[in-house]
Amino acid sequence: MSLLTTCGGCISLLRSLVLFQMILWIDSKPIDGDPVCLPSTFRRIEIYTKLLSGFANITTETSLTGCSEQCAGFSGCQSFGFNTINKTCYLYMDRVKISSSSTTEEGMVYYWLLRDTCPASYYKNPELSLCFLPFLSDKKPVLEAEKRCEQDGGHLIIIDSVEKEKFLAEFLTVDQKQVKSLVGGVELVASTEDWKWFNGANVTNWNVDQPDNYKGIEDCLQAVFKPKTKTTVFNDTPCEASKKHRFICEIPIV
């Protein structure tokens, strides 16, 4: 039986041969430095050419698969980074994101280790592969909101797809009153002035004349929902502690 699959940026022709109750998987040539397709418990994120700080363990490893196995077997590991050039494996005890401090290092790829269940009190959306917990009345400043999400092993919600936009627009319609806005998990990369979601994806679909960095203090992002079209546009907003926002915590799952 042959099966063409796409996984983690690589395309593999997988032939499974059942022989003596064993399955043999044959992978094709790697693409973009991604030697193999990892199990679905790992999700590749779009952070490259950076060595993120805060790793708990560093070893030499011959392959991406070996590094992923180290993370899976290392108590508390939530992310790993692998340098495809010098074959170094970095294990992290939190879910790494673009906002982490970093130094330039070519050849880096990063993966999140995903859980398969949601914490108590979280909602589950299997279609979007995420758990989420809204804080619509308990508003907090952006940095406090992010810390609250991190307590559960999550982060501020990332709105990087049309499917997630539509889901949120429907979910946030309460008693026919639309929750108009909340803050999202982004980072303004100072060196390039690029806006990135925590997973490294680019922020798009800005509101008219946004971002404008009004008064030079708007380094956080506000998502504004349009209930009629079920779409979202983004504004930059101050990160200051005196300004409180609604927010949603997100935990990606398998």
Q: Which pLDDT value is given to residue 101? A: 77
Q: Which pLDDT band, with edges at 50, 70 and 90, does 228 fall under? A: confident
- Out of 2-16, 27-41, 172-186, the most confident range is 172-186
37-41, 78-82, 173-177, 220-224: segment of lowest average pLDDT:
173-177
Q: Which pLDDT band, with edges at 50, 70 and 90, does 75 fall under? A: very high
Scored b (16 or more CB within 10 A) or e, 212-228 reads: eeeeeebbbbbbebeee
Q: Which pLDDT value is given to residue 114? A: 94
Domain 123-252 listed as CATH 3.40.640.10: no
Q: Cα–Cα distances in Å, from 66 out to 31, 53, 60, 94, 184?
A: 18, 21, 10, 19, 34
Task: Kindly list the domain boundaries of the chain, sorted by start residue.
Answer: 1-37, 39-114, 123-252
Q: Which pLDDT band, with edges at 50, 70 and 90, does 18 fall under? A: very low
Question: Among residues 201, 210, 114, which one has the least CA distance to residue 159?
Answer: 201
Q: Which pLDDT value is given to residue 243? A: 86
CATH class of 39-114: alpha beta
